[in-house]
Homo-oligomer: A and B are copies of this chain.
Amino acid sequence: MQEVRVLAPATVSNVVCGFDCLGFALEKPFDEMTVRRISERTVRIVNRDYFNLPTDPEKNVAGVVLLALLAKINADFGFEVEVTKHIKPGSGIGSSSASSCGAAVAANRLLGDRFSKLELVDFAMEGEQLASGEKHADNVAPCIYGGFTLVRSTDPLDIVSLDFPPLFATVIHPQIEIKTSEARAILPKQVSLKTAVRQWGHLGSLVAGLAQGDYNLISRSMEDFIVEPVRKSLIPKFDEVKLESLAAGALGGGISGSGPSMFFLSKMQATAERVELAVRSVYERSDCEFNTYVSEIVSSGVKFV
């Protein structure tokens, strides 16, 4: 086997009360990636899309992941990676993560699956480090494991796959840019213990609701008392979109990653599609360009084709 083709899905991190630890994988959108073993000891990036991402492997998230893999095994060969991205960079649904994870999973297959999922998350975090300056696992974990994942700890790295019932996500991506630095700067450095307790009570019951397949509990638990209240100011019409989604039957939702995308969960596909119509109608009354997606939350992450 000299070539492996994968689909690397979009992911939602910072799932309401689960800031910095809870994420899930969508079925679509996804990036298409092909990784080939080449004899030169290098990494070659071939972009087949219009995003003009860097082709210097040290400046490309898939590139740094592949370089890290090659370094780890002292390889006397290299990789070429051909990328057709469909997940727009900066959308807040794990675009860089998809590139990092797709590269890691495809290359690992070429290496005879010698690394575990947990090790692949660790490699993919090299890409996140390049993209955001931070080695966070919130998007790469669900991208590799699929479904809902909880990052218990990044040092040592510990990823928990959660049980969950059928769920559908509606995502709306307003085409605006939110600087990660700005989204970070407005976060409080300190929170009151009382508010922290409310937040972790909700995260605990969200995890319980997912495990028990209790949609009502999932819905009651989807509240964020710390991050959403400050970050929502960066997203046009956030409150209106949220209100309309809930009115259309969504269980709850919030900001995906650090935005600008928003996501809403529904029990049924038909509801998720009604939610899509509802959020579209809010944005159609604005000047802002946007995309929407409806996707089941699936238990697979990066898929081989």
Chain A residues near B (Cβ < 8 Å): 17-22, 150-153, 158, 160, 162-163, 187-193, 196-209, 211-212, 217, 220-221, 226
Contacts and interface: CB of A to CB of B under 8 A. Distances in A.
Contact of A204 (B163, B191, B204): B204
Contact of A203 (B189, B190, B204): B204
Contacts of A196: 191, 196, 199-200, 226
B158 A200 contact: no
Contacts of A191: 190-193, 196
Given A153-B202, A191-B196, A203-B203, 10 more contacts: A17-B200, A20-B201, A21-B201, A150-B201, A152-B205, A153-B201, A160-B208, A191-B191, A191-B192, A200-B200
Most chain B CB atoms below 10 A, which of A190, A191, A199, A201: A201
Contacts of A189: 192-193
9 contacts: A18-B200, A20-B197, A152-B201, A152-B221, A153-B220, A191-B191, A191-B196, A204-B206, A207-B211
B162 A197 contact: no
B152 A202 contact: yes
A184 to B, nearest CB: 11
Contact of A199 (B151, B200, B211, B221): B200
Contact of A162 (B17, B20, B208): B208
Contact of A21 (B19, B22, B188, B197): B197
A187 to B, nearest CB: 6
Contacts of A193: 187-191, 226
A220 B20 contact: no
Chain B CB count within 10 A is highest, among A18, A151, A203, for: A203
A207 B150 CA distance: 11
Given A20-B197, A203-B204, A217 B187 contact: no
Given A163-B212, A197-B20, A200-B21, A150 B205 contact: yes
Contacts of A206: 204
A18 B204 contact: yes
Contacts of A152: 201-202, 204-205, 217, 220-221
Contacts of A205: 150, 152, 158, 160, 207
Nearest to A151: B201
B158 A220 contact: yes
Nearest to A188: B193
A189 B191 CA distance: 9
A193 B21 CA distance: 13
Contacts of A226: 193, 196
Nearest to A162: B208
Contacts of A153: 198, 201-202, 220
A291 to B, nearest CB: 30
